[in-house]
Amino acid sequence: MKATIKDVARLAGVSVSTVSRALHHNPRISEEVRQKVHRVAKELDFHPNQMARSLVSRKTRIVGLMFPGSAAFSMGHPFYPAVLRGLGQVAGERRYHMLLSTGSENLSDAEAVRDLADSGYVSGLILLAAQDSPMEELLPSQALPVVEIGHPPQAENRYYVDNDNVKAGYAATQYLLARGHRRILFLGYSSRFFVTVDRRAGYEQALTQAGLIPQKEWVVSSSFIENTTDNALLESLFQGQGRPTAVVSMDDALSIGLIGFLKTLGLAVPKDVSIISFNNTQAGQFASPALTTIDVDPYLLGVSAMQLLLDILKGRVQEPTHVEVPFQLIQRDSVAEAPLP
Amino acid sequence: MKATIKDVARLAGVSVSTVSRALHHNPRISEEVRQKVHRVAKELDFHPNQMARSLVSRKTRIVGLMFPGSAAFSMGHPFYPAVLRGLGQVAGERRYHMLLSTGSENLSDAEAVRDLADSGYVSGLILLAAQDSPMEELLPSQALPVVEIGHPPQAENRYYVDNDNVKAGYAATQYLLARGHRRILFLGYSSRFFVTVDRRAGYEQALTQAGLIPQKEWVVSSSFIENTTDNALLESLFQGQGRPTAVVSMDDALSIGLIGFLKTLGLAVPKDVSIISFNNTQAGQFASPALTTIDVDPYLLGVSAMQLLLDILKGRVQEPTHVEVPFQLIQRDSVAEAPLP
DNA sequence: TATCATGATACAAACGTTTGCACATTGGGG
DNA sequence: CCCCAATGTGCAAACGTTTGTATCATGATA
């Protein structure tokens, strides 16, 4: 049987309320009593019952985590474990716990969020908002603070943490332009993803600024796994004279797929085609050639998100804010000077 | 402000206790009242306060999850997301939630488990017990049901879910023996992992039964990333006449590393060396050659573990049990007939 | 010596449920 | 017509905390 606050009170020879205050370092308690209470508590291995505590305080020390398409699915990409590491680090330090959205197969993201909120177990929510989803309307109903990682379209009155992906897309493109490339392809997964949209804006901004006109046909999505029609499209693009000499690719996995694909067309990276990539994964580091890539620092994304949420819960943040996490361009071997025209 | 049971009672014109019983389908409540209560509850979007509920029932609808070296770290390997998917599926169906062990960097596995148990938030624990760890002594103190995935050395009075890894090791080795191989190497990560130990036993059993004598020097561990000394060892083993013609490799990632490594030695898979692998990852499926591998069904492992734990919590399982999850040998292209001697 | 401010502690209500028990209503059997 | 079983409801205690307010010493002030 676990020790309760009453046991501590009895053994310390004080009242229950005194124990409570002593453990909370309330200044109204004398140093002497405070020490004694702490000693007894330790002796009994007393841990306050969180349920009772939460019942009166109307708060828990748990935050809900919502990964797109349920945690288990997204974990396939190294980005998410890294975010999780950041989240867990801060949560652990501040003695919070993390509740995973249990992703049943037949449960939409929005339903999963609602479920988390309704459960009553969490005091706040962290949403990995990779793509647009209809969770807007149901959040106000529960009065739960929400921090999003990756920012939603209309983000004025939301709390979120993100890279400046427009700037990142710009930087990547600029890096290629500076090396003489003029025919630059933009390769992403799907325009449903926020990152794709933002980085594309940066890409077009850089092109325009260099006096080039962004071509709609040169913005392509593919996954190199299922979708053979996309690959046919890519194949036609890379045939012939006016082919791209460089690619801005939204993810290392995509880039690695691309390298293999280009090889089948007789094109070598970076000799014939340069690639600048995103996400700095281990796979990209060991690929050949090793990928020049932009590290968006998912760990820091996680750290910042959890810090922001816990600060909100503590009442230290009032107005909707966002935190920008810096990215870093990592030079390796997948980009070369553009071949002479 | 959220609706409480009192609001429902008032609006339904009955007492609080009647509402409680009505919602729990207590037979003492008349059908008429039951329906009315349910209607009002739905109308108010009433969700019972879990804290209050847990306070009296001394139970929560949360189970704690403990991944080795903290969730975020282990997620790098596709095995764990798959397990998580299974766990989440069952938890979701049965309206349970999952609390992640928040892995601060400076927190041992044992401490993390203790933290979970002490938190008071969880009613049971699922431990991904990949390797030996000193969590034995602290579990009895808390009266928390624990289900382990992957079984510990002395497993008599524990609940766990696992493959029969001895049998799996035997089957893998047998598969090679049946194709004429006699010089078979066993390649693992580290003998600290339970799976390595068990499968090795199966491996040796198969060899012995075929009239061969297991060689201690032919049980090697490597990771092909950091550890160059292991690779030197492997290199010497694969030089010269009496080299292995086949390998039993504990993981697809290891096998893929091995294929590349052998290539540098001028040896081709499966022509010169056959490989049978474990874990049936996507990487192994797309590797060249595609890996012949044993699928240990991590999803089912997760499903079974969560089912077992929830059944224990429901009081439907009394005695320590274990569940064996079947594995499956998937034939692809990394194993060939042994070359003639 | 009586009064008061000060500091330390205790009392008791409240949080939202569940559940053992008491109570009220009904209809049937004696 | 009375009693009793059966059926349906309500009362109130309990779960383990937190916290506003009351109480109690103590020593200083008048």
Residue among B102, B223, B286 with most chain A CBs within 10 A, to mutate: B102
B255-274 pLDDT per residue, tens: 999 999 999 899 999 999 99
SS3 content of chain B, % helix, strand, coil (to 5): 45, 15, 40
Question: Which residue is closest to B81 within chain A, CA to CA?
Answer: A72
Q: Which of A284, A312, A314 is nearest to A296 (CA)?
A: A284
Return all residues near B73 (Cβ < 8 A) that are at least 6 apart.
A81, A85, B67, B103
B84-96 pLDDT per residue, tens: 999 999 999 999 9
pLDDT at B232: 81
Pairing of β B322-324 and β B274-278: unpaired
CA dist B131 and B56 (Å) reads: 37
CA dist A294 and A166 (Å) reads: 13
User: Which residues of chain B have a CB within 8 Å of the CB of A51?
Assistant: 51-52, 54-55, 60, 120
CA dist A336 and B70 (Å) reads: 40
Question: Which residue is closest to A83 within chain B, CA to CA?
Answer: B72
Contact A80 B80 (CB under 8 A): no
A87-113 pLDDT per residue, tens: 999 999 999 999 998 766 667 777 888
User: Is strand C in 7 Å reach of the CB of A29?
Assistant: yes
User: Which residues of chain B have a CB within 8 Å of the CB of A138?
Assistant: none
pLDDT at A160: 93
CA dist A94 and B187 (Å) reads: 42
Helix axis angle, A50-57 to B50-57, nearest 10°: 150
Q: What is the dihedral sign for C-alpha A229, A234, A239, A240?
A: positive
Is B102 in contact with A118 (CB distance < 8 Å)?
no
Instruction: Print burial letters for A203-241: b (CB count within 10 Å at least 16), e (below 16).
Output: bbbbbeeeeeebeeebbbbbebeeeeeebeebeeebeee
pLDDT at B329: 98
Is B253 in contact with B283 (CB distance < 8 Å)?
yes
User: Which residues of chain A have a CB within 8 Å of the CB of B102?
Assistant: 88, 91-92, 96-98
Residue B26 binned pLDDT confidence (cut-offs 50, 70, 90): confident
- Give me A224's structure tokens: 């190199």
Q: What is the dihedral sign for C-alpha A286, A291, A295, A296?
A: negative
Return all residues near A304 (Cβ < 8 A) that are at least 6 apart.
A86, A161, A323, A325
CA dist B246 and B248 (Å) reads: 7
pLDDT in tens, chain A (341 residues): 689 999 999 999 999 999 999 999 888 888 888 999 999 999 999 999 999 999 999 999 999 999 887 777 778 888 999 999 999 999 999 999 999 987 666 677 778 888 888 889 999 999 987 666 555 555 555 678 999 998 877 777 889 999 999 999 999 999 999 999 999 999 998 777 888 999 999 999 999 999 999 999 899 887 776 556 677 888 889 987 889 999 999 999 999 999 999 998 999 999 999 999 999 999 899 898 999 999 999 999 999 999 999 999 998 888 899 999 999 999 999 999 988 76
What would the mean pLDDT of B56-62 be, rounded to a whole number?
94
Residue among A75, A125, A141, A286 with most chain B CBs within 10 A, to mutate: A75
Q: Taking all residues of chain B, what is their mean pLDDT, rounded to a whole number?
A: 89
Is A335 in contact with A273 (CB distance < 8 Å)?
no
CA dist B66 and B115 (Å) reads: 11
Concatenate the DSSP letters of all residues of A278-314 into one string. Answer: ES--HHHHHSSSPPEEEE--HHHHHHHHHHHHHHHHT
A21-55 pLDDT per residue, tens: 999 988 888 888 899 999 999 999 999 999 999 99
Cα B33 to the chain's mean position, in Å? 46
User: Is strand C in 7 Å reach of the CB of B16?
Assistant: yes
Pairing of β B274-278 and β B292-295: parallel
Helix, strand, or coil here: A4?
coil
Encoded amino acid at B255, one letter: S
pLDDT at A202: 97
Residue A164 bridge partners (DSSP): none
Is A322 in contact with A151 (CB distance < 8 Å)?
yes
Helices (H), B66-144: 71-74, 79-93, 109-119
Measure, in angstroms, how far nucleotide C9 C1' is from residue B67 CA.
46
CA dist A92 and B100 (Å) reads: 11
Return all residues near B240 (Cβ < 8 A) that are at least 6 apart.
none
Phi, psi of A333 (to 5 degrees): -115, 10
Q: What is the dihedral sign for C-alpha B29, B32, B35, B41?
A: negative
- In this complex, the residue of A52, A61, A88 whose CB is nearest that of residue B103 is A88
Residue B250 burial (C-beta neighbours within 10 Å; 0-12, 13-18, 19+): buried
pLDDT at B130: 67
User: Which residues of chain B have a CB within 8 Å of the CB of A99?
Assistant: 62, 97-100
Question: Which residue is closest to A47 within chain B, CA to CA?
Answer: B118
- In this structure, what DSSP letter does residue B6 have? H
Measure, in angstroms, how far nucleotide C9 C1' is from residue A45 CA.
24
Helix, strand, or coil here: B192?
coil
Is B277 in contact with B258 (CB distance < 8 Å)?
no
Which nucleotide is nearest, taking the CA of residue A7 and each C1'? D16
pLDDT at B76: 83
Please state, in angstroms and as integers, the Cα–Cα distance from residue B219 to each residue in A283, B37, B216, following that order. 28, 67, 6
Q: Which of B111, B130, B119 is nearest to B73 (CA)?
A: B130
- In this complex, the residue of A75, A88, A92 whose CB is nearest that of residue B84 is A75
- The DSSP element (H or E) to which A186 belongs, if any, is strand A184-188
Nucleotides of D under 7 A from a protein CB: 7-12, 14-20
Which residue has its C-alpha nearest to nucleotide C18's C1'? Answer: B56
Phi, psi of A329 (to 5 degrees): -90, 125
pLDDT at A28: 81
User: A104 versus B12: which is more confidently predicted?
Assistant: B12
Q: Answer yes or no: is pLDDT of B225 > 70.
A: no
Look at chain B and count its residues: 341
Residue B113 binned pLDDT confidence (cut-offs 50, 70, 90): confident
Return all residues near B76 (Cβ < 8 A) that are at least 6 apart.
A78, A81
What would the mean pLDDT of B295-303 be, rounded to a whole number?
97
Is B335 in contact with B275 (CB distance < 8 Å)?
yes
Residue B334 binned pLDDT confidence (cut-offs 50, 70, 90): very high
Residue B228 binned pLDDT confidence (cut-offs 50, 70, 90): low
Helix, strand, or coil here: A231?
helix
Residue B32 burial (C-beta neighbours within 10 Å; 0-12, 13-18, 19+): exposed
Q: Answer yes or no: is pLDDT of B102 > 80.
A: no
- In this complex, the residue of A47, A92, A100 whose CB is nearest that of residue B107 is A92
pLDDT at B158: 87
- In this complex, the residue of A48, A73, A81 whose CB is nearest that of residue B85 is A73
Nucleotides of C under 7 A from a protein CB: 7-12, 14-20
Which nucleotide is nearest, taking the CA of residue A16 and each C1'? C10
- The DSSP element (H or E) to which B253 belongs, if any, is helix B252-264
